[in-house]
Amino acid sequence: MFSYRHAFHAGNHADVLKHLALIATMRHLLRKPTPVLLVDTHAGAGLYRLDSDFAQTAGEAADGIVRLWEAAAAKPAADPGAAEDALADYLQMIAAFNPDGQLRYYPGSPFILQRLMRSEGGDRLKLFELHPTDSRALSRNIAQLKPGRSVSVLRQDGFEGLRASLPPPPAGTGPRRALVLIDPSYEIKNDYSRVADAIADSLKRYATGTYLVWYPIIPRPEAHELPRRLKTLSHQAHRPWLHATLSIGAASTPATAAVQAGEPRRPGLRASGLWVINPPHTLKPALQAALPQVLAALGRGSGKGYTLESGG
């Protein structure tokens, strides 16, 4: 049924944008003691080896985390006291999974969220993954962290799982907050409309949740339409929003060179976007500082750039 495997794409520029924003959003939510329900509707396998056959075949991390990691190594270390430095925070997260300084592992959203959450403080993490192989890998990987009952791995449709998860159940005597990451592979065309429907439904169930939706920027009408629909939904629900996009541009060595060299892979995704509903007020300044540095490391030719807009 599914051909998409995130192992081919782990650590690419899209993961950099998504995970940088995810960590910056989490940091803000964790400032308050109120417990948070974390929902990852499309979780993937959780942890990836960058030297695996999958990652090596696609080589996408080379245009993502690998460049960023090398650029950071060439610079003096960031001030560890600079809590608002989202890029340094992201790189420290990746470094935590590569303690010997060699970049071998890339943490997916489940591992990032699990590392940041406060299991003792009532935070809960629900991970939905439908692919049988990735779901098994996710269960195995997460089990190694011995996370206890605060983390559940569910081999279910993430859109349906989200509907059943909202509003978040109360924690103790008080309400719980919620952070939702919606990160489908979009290999099925109706993923675009399912995302918009899931946001419409979620805002009715729980208008104050923080929702992060990742999408690819590709020449396909549904992909162009999705941010427009998300903007309309955000306005209709009177919720603030933030929209970030990152394009690394076209490679200076065109795909034809790779094809001539007998390498059949397609040129790959060049740009993606992230729509955030109810973003923390700290997210825009954090991305404003981080994205120019990300672009300086990853931008590679014509069309490179980033955008950052907010409203509501």
Active site residues: 183
Bridge partners (DSSP) of residue 124 are: 37
What is the residue type of 239?
Answer: R
One of 29, 43, 47, 162 touching ligand SAM (CB under 6 A): 43
Residue 35 as a binder of ligand SAM (CB under 6 A): the answer is no
Could you give the angle at which helices 132-143 and 109-116 cross, rounded to 10 degrees? 30
**What residues contact 58, with CB distance under 8 A and at least 6 apart?**
8, 9, 265, 268
Q: Which of 128, 211, 241, 306 binds ligand SAM (CB under 6 A)?
A: 128
Least distance CB 297 / ligand SAM (angstroms): 20
Query: What distance in Å separates the CA atoms of residue 129 and residue 139, rounded to the nearest whole number?
Result: 10
Q: Are strands 271-277 and 210-216 parallel, antiparallel or unpaired?
A: antiparallel
Question: CA 238 to CA 55: how far, in whole Å?
Answer: 41
CA dihedral 267, 22, 165, 213 (to 10 degrees): -40
Q: How many residues bind ligand SAM (CB under 6 A)?
A: 21
Residue 157 annotated as binding site:
yes
The reply on whether position 158 binds ligand SAM by CB under 6 A is: yes
Binds ligand SAM by CB under 6 A, chosen from 13, 27, 42, 239: 42
The contact pattern for ligand SAM, residues 95-114, with x = CB under 6 A and - = no contact, is: -------------xx-----
With CB under 6 A as the contact rule, the residue among 49, 98, 157, 201 that binds ligand SAM is: 157
Which lies closer to ligand SAM via its Cβ, residue 108 or residue 279?
108
Check binding of 2 to ligand SAM (CB under 6 A). Answer: yes
**Residue 47 and residue 93 in contact, taking contact as beta carbons nearer than 8 Å:** no
| Residues in contact with 123: Cβ distance below 8 Å, sequence separation at least 6, in sequence order | 35, 36, 37, 38, 117, 150
Residue choice 13, 27, 126, 131 for contact with ligand SAM (CB under 6 A): 131
Compute the least distance from the CB of residue 40 to ligand SAM, in Å: 6
Cα–Cα distance for residue pair 42/25, rounded to 1 Å: 18
Which residue's CB is nearer to ligand SAM, number 203 or number 274?
A: 274
Q: By C-beta, is 122 or 272 nearer to ligand SAM?
A: 272
Binding residues for ligand SAM restricted to 4-33, rule: CB under 6 A: 4, 6, 18
Which residue in the set 125, 134, 198, 217 belongs to the binding site for ligand SAM (CB under 6 A)?
Answer: 134
CA 270 to each of CA 40, 152, 184: distance values in angstroms, whole numbers, following the listed order: 24, 33, 17
By CB under 6 A, name the binding residues for ligand SAM.
2, 4, 6, 18, 40, 42-44, 108-109, 128-131, 134, 157-159, 183-185
